[in-house]
Amino acid sequence: MDLLTALVDKGLRREPPTRDEALAVLATSDDELLDVVAAAGRVRRQWFGRRVKLNYLVNLKSGLCPEDCSYCSQRLGSQADILKYTWLKPDEAVAAATAGVSGGAKRVCLVASGRGPTDRDVDRVSKTIEAIKEGNEGVEVCACLGLLSGDQAERLRAAGADAYNHNLNTSEGTYAGITTTHTYDDRVDTVRQAQAAGLSACSGLIAGMGESDADLVDVVFSLRALDPDSVPVNFLIPFEGTPLAKEWNLTPQRCLRILAMVRFVCPDVEVRLAGGREVHLRTMQPLALHLVNSIFLGDYLTSEGQAGQADLDMITDAGFEVEGAETTTLPAHRRADGDGAPAAGGSGCGSHDTGCGSCEHGEPAAARTVAAATSAPGPAASAGARTDLVAVRRRGAGTDLPPNA
């Protein structure tokens, strides 16, 4: 396909596709799927080889959130039967983090429900970060605490945090239909605060909320302009008791096309396969490793993932290798000083050195532009949906049971 040849050439040069080309990837047929995966896989291997970075989530505070994000089991008014608990003690958080590191995780992600942290919360998390770093040499720590204010980003950085996660989740045009208690601009501002403080920005999306192909392309191009170092791609887990409980819009094939599109738009960025992979990709998960270079190990915040050992076996069986702590994830051109330190801020367009600022540039659409995709919604509720695969987390942080790592 001329389209895929053009996309590979651009990806190897760190150039973005046009919007029409990105839409065309989402509009490819199932007969073309393996060609799409192979093409995006060439770009993935150019910048990340066959390495897979493992990340481990620790839910520091679960449930009872005052925000009304429709996709979230921890939202205001959620009837989902999830674990609910207040802040873990530092030693509990360290024990959970250490389990993930022992299982092979290179990065620990500390997450807390809520609109954003108080200054006291930042102090609490800072102590936890310091304790994790002290007991686990070489581990990266990412914080995900909601909207930041004042000097909170700087304080987290001073405590030893390497990164901050705050996802855009969906396009600016559809954001108000998903969340009303804060705005899309609030999220963008928090990512920029993290970057300004010298934290590596982690920001991604959730697919499967009923969005159109155009919405998906919009949010991914917005992410490229924001220039995070990590882009997690979540697939909606439709929890019973949330407004989106009936949104079963994904198939394994559509998930793979979405991941391929993200890789083409963000060729040299850490693309992370995140929540929902077990539910929606199922036995197709190994194919996704040809598109992403990062996954979460074991369980998620409120849902169970597949066994940690199964994750490791999958990586090995697919011909990939777990990235060690001694290896720098990002290619050299995305680092501030060439020694692995994260670059602060960024100049847009996903390369840290182009300075184009817009991401609307690029060559004319190659061969196969699918104009209809600009407004066409994703497929109707998948006939292959496996609602039985949604399992609420009952182990690990906040329980007396050992974590899945």
Residue 120: what pLDDT?
Answer: 96
What's the pLDDT at 361? 32
349 in a known ligand binding site = no
The percent of the chain in helix, strand and coil, each rounded to the nearest 5, is: 35, 15, 50
Catalytic residue numbers read 65, 69, 72, 109, 142, 202, 272
The pLDDT assigned to 64 comes to 82
Closest of 302, 254, 301 to residue 282, by C-alpha: 254
Tokens of 358: 């817009």
Q: What is the pLDDT of residue 383?
A: 61
Position 165, amino acid: N
Give the integer Cα–Cα distance in Å for 366 and 222.
Answer: 22
Compute the half-sphere exposure of residue 62: CA atoms within 13 Å on the CB side of its CA. 24
> Which burial class, exposed, middle or buried, applies to 31 when counting CB atoms under 10 A from its CB (0-12, 13-18, 19+)?
exposed
> Cα–Cα–Cα angle for 326, 312, 317, nearest 5°?
110
394, HSE (Cβ side, Cα atoms, 13 Å):
4
65 a known binding residue?
yes
The whole-number pLDDT of residue 270 equals 98
Mean pLDDT by 10 residues, the chain (405 residues): 94 97 98 98 98 96 87 79 86 94 96 93 96 92 97 98 97 94 96 98 96 97 98 93 90 98 98 95 97 93 87 97 95 67 43 38 33 39 72 83 85
> How far, in Å, CA of 348 to CA of 115, rounded?
27
pLDDT at 370: 33
Tell me what pLDDT residue 13 has: 97
Q: Is 272 annotated as a binding residue?
A: yes
Angle made by CA atoms 72, 265, 226, in degrees to the nearest 5:
65
184 — alpha (psi -120 to 50), left (phi > 0) or beta? alpha
Is 202 annotated in a binding site? The answer is yes
d(CA 42, CA 240): 39
What burial class does residue 186 get, using C-beta atoms within 10 Å of its C-beta: 0-12 exposed, 13-18 middle, 19+ buried? middle
Instruction: Tell me which DSSP letter residue 88 carries.
Output: P
- Given a contact cutoff of 8 angstroms between Cβ atoms, the answer to whether 350 and 268 are in contact is yes
pLDDT of residue 349: 44
Provide DSSP, 230-286: EEEEEE----TTSTTTT-----HHHHHHHHHHHHHHSTTSEEEE-TTHHHHTGGGHH
72 is in an annotated binding site: yes
Q: Tell me, what's the pLDDT at 352?
A: 43
d(CA 321, CA 341) in angstroms, rounded, equals: 23
Strand 200-202, strand 205-207: pairing: unpaired
Q: Mind giving me the DSSP string for 338-378?
A: SSSPBPSS--STTTSS-----S---PPPPS---GGGGT-B-
- According to CATH, the topology of domain 2-389 is TIM Barrel (3.20.20)
142 is in an annotated binding site: yes
Strands 230-235 and 205-207: parallel
Collapsed DSSP state (helix, strand, coil) of residue 78: coil
Sorted by where each begins, the domain ranges of the chain are 2-389
CA distance 280 to 41: 20
Describe the crossing of helices 33-48 and 2-12 by its angle, rounded to 10 degrees.
10
What tokens does 130 get?
A: 């310091």
Looking at residue 365, what is its pLDDT? 32
pLDDT for 83: 77
What pLDDT shows up at residue 376? 42
